[in-house]
Every structure is written in C-alpha cells, then in structure tokens.
C-alpha cells in the first residue's frame, strides 16, 4: 500500500468540486445552443436583423432608433452578420453573452459570499428557463445581463483592491448596459445608491471615488441624450402608450382598477414565476429570496473583511425591486411576468442563491441535487404562459418554415402577389425574399416590394397581426390601392403568431369561405385568396 493512498479521497473530492462549475457552465451553453439552432426566427428577431442589414453603420444606427430599444444590439449585429446570417450565427452573440453572464455572476458571488452560494447561483443562471430562452434569441436581454453582471464583478474588484482601473471598466460596462436596454436605468439607479453607500467615507479611496464619479457623469450624459432624442420621439408617435394598453397591460398599474399592495404582491410573484417558468419553482425561488433578505438584515458580522456588509448586500438585492414597483405604480415601466423585467433576474436569482446558502442539509451534495431537481421540473413541466417546454421547439422548427416556403414556390406561379401582415412580412423577407420587404420608420397602409419572381405586399407596422375576419376589408383596400382586377389571386402568408395556432386559423378561414388554406407546424399558414 502506498503511503499517500489514505490522502487520496480529499484531493479527489477537491478535483471534482473544481470541475462542477465548468460542467454547469458547459450545460448552460448546450441548453442555449439547442434552441438557437433548432427554431426559425421570431418576428422580433427578424426585425432586429432587418434593422442591422443596412448599407452603413450610420444607417443602421438611424434604423435602430425606430425601435423601442437603444441601438447597441443592432450595431453589434451590423458587424456580426458579416460572419454569417443563419439563425444560429445571428443568435450566437446572445448565446455567448448569456453563458458569460452565468460565469461572471458565479465569480461575483464567490467574492461577496462563498463558493457554495456561487455554485447554486451558477446552476440557477445557467438553467432558469426564461434566461435560457432569452439567451437563444436575437434580443437585448442576454447582452444586458452580461453588462450588468460585469458591473457587479468589476465594482467589487475596484473596491476590494482600491483600483481606479477596475472602476473605469465598471463605468464602461454600465454604459454598455445603458446602450442595450432602457430597463438598465433602474439598474443604474440601484447600483449608484449601493456604490454610494459602499464608499462611505468617501475620502479613503479618492482615486477610486473620482473614477466612479466620472463614470456616473458620463452615464447621466448618455441617459439625458437618449431621453431627449430617442425616448421623446417614441412618446410622440405613441409607441409606449400602445404597448401599455395592449400586451403589457397586465404589468402596468391602473389606478381605480388595481389595488396597489395587491398589484405589487401579485406582480412580484409573476416576476419569479416568469424566470422559472413554473409556479412551484417561482414560489420556492421567491421564498429563498425573502429568506436571504431577512438573514442579511439580521446579520451583524461582516461576510468578508473588504466585501459588502450584510445590510449593504441586502440593499443591492432588494432596491431594484423597490424601484421597479415604484416605476410600475407611476405607470412608467412594466413590472411582472414579462421579458422586460428580465434584468431583475440578476438580483432575484442571486438573492435566492444566498437564501439557499442558509440551508444546511445533512449532506453537502443534497443542496445542488434539490436545485437541479427544481430546475428540471421548471424546464420540462412549465406552467407559465411565457415559458415553453423543449417539445414546443417542434412548433417553431426550421423544417416547418422551409416546407412552407417550398410549398409557396411550388403553388404560386411567377408574378403572383403575396400578402403578409407586418410580423409575417419580416419572416417572409428573411426566408423567401432574401431581403427586407417591410417598412422601417414609415406608417403607410401597405408596402410593395419584389420577392424573387413574386410581388410581396405587406401591411404597415400598425397592422402587426392580421386576423382572418379582416381579410375581406384588407383585400378590398389592397385592390383599390394597387388597382387589382376582380378575380386576381393573392396568397396570404401568415407566420410567427405564438399563441394563435395555425389549425385554429384554418377553421376560421373555412367558416369565412376560404377553404384552401394549409398549415405548416403550429405557427405558419398559407392560403390562396381571390379579390372581389
């Protein structure tokens, strides 16, 4: 027997423990890559690609300002699309940013808490259903969460090491977040208050404090610029009002209809349920988050010598929710089960990790196993409208879109007219025409464009989704606008309407006298119509 045999288990256990974070990170990357390569683009994703597909970076910037978000993602895509324009390639920046966010949060939690808390946080961030889905789409949220998590990590390094260089990197990350999504305004306020409290007394690190103040001044200047230009223009055309009155209505407080306390409680639960995609998982995560706040507020001794005091960490985790509730009650920003509040995941899941750290089971491996079990439940048995199980990827399979385009080309003779509403026109342009065919920055009733051997006519952005009951009126308006003779055949292409199944549309069309429609998967429909 070798003398070192008795000491073998300890190094082996340490090696396994050091391997677990990398295994979780690889799993999170795989979980994002699968939907990123398996599904066709959503209309919103196709819109971001269209805005980036301009002749110059200045044109891409101007096009980005027609959207409701700051321009950074569109500018990234403008350069990134030169590497390829497949679905996976266009989604890869989000996949990489979402995966990197998991690792940065892990490193931050290691600094402010301990390795066990950090590992739980890594699992939550890597496999929370909402974060997986948002990281597999061409959207701002993965990039936003990466910049925000970088702000937490870099500011902690700056304060611990008394380094103005790390603080400058923090400020650059904050500017990146502000250029990505307007929900970062709430983050910037909460982070500003937290770092103001952390740096008391302010004279102990004058260079770090000066670097932080300079970054705050730059952030305020950037915020003022976009509020005075972009946001003001969006308000002029009524975009925030239209959104608040339609699909985000449930997440906006309405005085006289909602009770303030009930609204705050219900919407907070919806935030956690949205992130986990399951009522049970959401409730357990919310409970762990509340336990974390309570334990941090009661705790007196510091967690680490140069780290945040427990109550400072509680301030950081809780303040974004307080500010979000305030903005929702004021009617300024939605709060609830919507991707617009995905930025709260940084604090919700980090707080839940701290709460779970207070649980000390008999065996150390039980905690990660329970977390993994809850995440498996949430991913494979979602019970929230915004969450989709892995099986739902079949409803947006790329094969369905390719089959629909092939059927259109086989059925419609050259010169045919293809009618699409705005969201379907975004997909038709990407998959069938090879270029954008919808209006950008205009509000005309229709837009006419070449689409290979066909003529594509799309509705304006105000007609995002066309209903079967509206077809007769739209055909009449179309015939009058473009002088179409009675009997002219028009092919209606409808795609991308999650929650409006194509089979149900076919039944409606049959009742309305259009019997020849056919569906491809659950979200794509093709139907020949006749003018007059």
pLDDT at residue number 216: 97
Q: Give every strand in the sheet of 454-459, ordered side by side.
A: 446-451, 454-459, 417-420, 489-495, 524-530, 518-520
152 contact partners, CB below 8 Å, separation of at least 6: 104, 105, 108, 346
User: What pTM value is reported for the model?
Assistant: 0.92
Domain extents for the chain?
20-392, 397-530
Q: Encode 304-367 in three state secondary structure.
A: CCCCCCHHHHHHHHHHHHHHHHHHHHCCCCCCCCCHHHHHHHHHHHHHHHHHHHCCCCCCCCHH
Q: Is the pLDDT of residue 105 over 60?
A: yes
pLDDT (tens digit per residue) in 332-382: 899 998 899 999 999 999 999 999 988 888 777 787 788 889 999 998 888
d(CA 199, CA 164): 13
pLDDT (tens digit per residue) in 241-295: 666 656 677 788 888 788 899 999 999 999 999 999 988 999 999 999 999 999 9
* 345, 130 contact by CB (below 8 A): yes
Question: Which of 18-22, 130-134, 320-324 is the least confident region?
Answer: 18-22
d(CA 498, CA 464): 13
Token output for 417:
């007219």
pLDDT (tens digit per residue) in 180-214: 999 999 999 999 999 999 999 888 899 999 999 99
d(CA 69, CA 339): 13
531: enclosing H helix or E strand? none
Question: Other CB atoms closer than 10 Å to residue 213's CB: what's the count?
Answer: 14
Q: Is the pLDDT of residue 410 over 70?
A: yes
Give yes or no for a cis peptide into 201 (omega within 30° of 0). yes
pLDDT at residue number 7: 47
């Amino acid at each position: 027997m070798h003398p070192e045999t008795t000491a073998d288990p300890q190094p082996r256990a340490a090696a396994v423990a050091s391997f677990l974070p990398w295994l979780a990170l690889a799993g999170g990357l795989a979980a994002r890559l699968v939907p990123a390569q398996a599904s066709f683009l959503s209309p919103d994703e196709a819109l971001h690609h269209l805005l980036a597909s301009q002749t110059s970076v200045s044109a891409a910037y101007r096009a980005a300002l027609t959207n409701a978000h700051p321009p950074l993602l569109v500018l990234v895509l403008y350069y990134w699309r030169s590497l390829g324009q497949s679905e996976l390639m266009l989604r890869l920046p989000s996949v990489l940013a979402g995966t990197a966010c998991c690792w940065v949060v892990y490193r931050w939690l290691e600094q402010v808490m301990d390795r066990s808390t950090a590992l739980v946080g890594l699992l939550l961030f890597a496999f929370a259903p909402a974060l997986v889905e948002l990281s597999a789409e061409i959207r701002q949220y993965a990039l936003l969460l990466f910049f925000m998590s970088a702000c937490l990590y870099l500011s902690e390094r700056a304060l611990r090491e008394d380094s103005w260089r790390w603080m400058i990197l923090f400020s650059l990350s904050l500017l990146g977040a502000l250029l990505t999504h307007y929900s970062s305004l709430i983050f910037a306020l909460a982070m500003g208050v937290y770092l103001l409290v952390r740096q008391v007394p302010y004279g102990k690190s004058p260079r770090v404090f000066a670097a932080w103040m300079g970054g705050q001044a730059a952030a305020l200047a950037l915020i003022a610029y976009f509020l005075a230009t972009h946001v003001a223009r969006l308000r002029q055309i009524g975009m925030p009002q239209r959104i608040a009155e339609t699909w985000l209505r449930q997440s906006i407080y309405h005085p006289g209809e909602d009770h303030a306390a009930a609204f705050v409680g219900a919407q907070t639960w919806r935030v956690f349920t949205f992130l986990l995609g399951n009522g049970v998982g959401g409730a357990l995560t919310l409970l762990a988050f509340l336990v974390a706040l309570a334990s941090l507020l009661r705790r007196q001794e510091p967690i680490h010598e140069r780290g945040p005091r427990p109550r400072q960490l509680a301030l950081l985790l809780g303040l974004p929710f307080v500010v979000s509730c305030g903005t929702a009650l004021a009617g300024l920003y939605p709060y609830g089960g919507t991707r617009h509040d995905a930025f709260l995941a940084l604090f919700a899941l980090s707080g839940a990790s701290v709460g779970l750290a207070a649980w000390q089971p008999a065996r150390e491996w039980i905690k990660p196993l329970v977390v993994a079990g809850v995440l498996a439940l949430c991913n494979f048995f979602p019970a929230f409208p915004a969450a989709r199980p892995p099986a739902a990827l079949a409803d947006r399979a790329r094969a369905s879109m390719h089959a629909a385009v092939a059927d259109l080309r086989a059925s419609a003779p050259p010169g045919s007219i293809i009618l699409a509403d705005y969201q379907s026109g975004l997909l038709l342009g990407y998959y069938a025409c090879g270029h954008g065919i919808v209006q950008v920055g205009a509000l005309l009733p229709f837009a006419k464009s070449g689409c290979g051997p066909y003529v594509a006519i799309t509705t304006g952005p105000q007609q995002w989704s066309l209903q079967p009951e509206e077809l007769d009126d739209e055909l009449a308006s179309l015939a009058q606008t473009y002088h179409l003779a009675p009997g002219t055949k028009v092919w209606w292409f409808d795609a991308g309407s999650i929650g409006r199944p194509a089979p149900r549309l076919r039944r409606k069309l049959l009742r309305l006298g259009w019997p020849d429609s056919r569906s491809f998967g659950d979200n794509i429909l093709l139907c020949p119509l006749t003018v007059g």
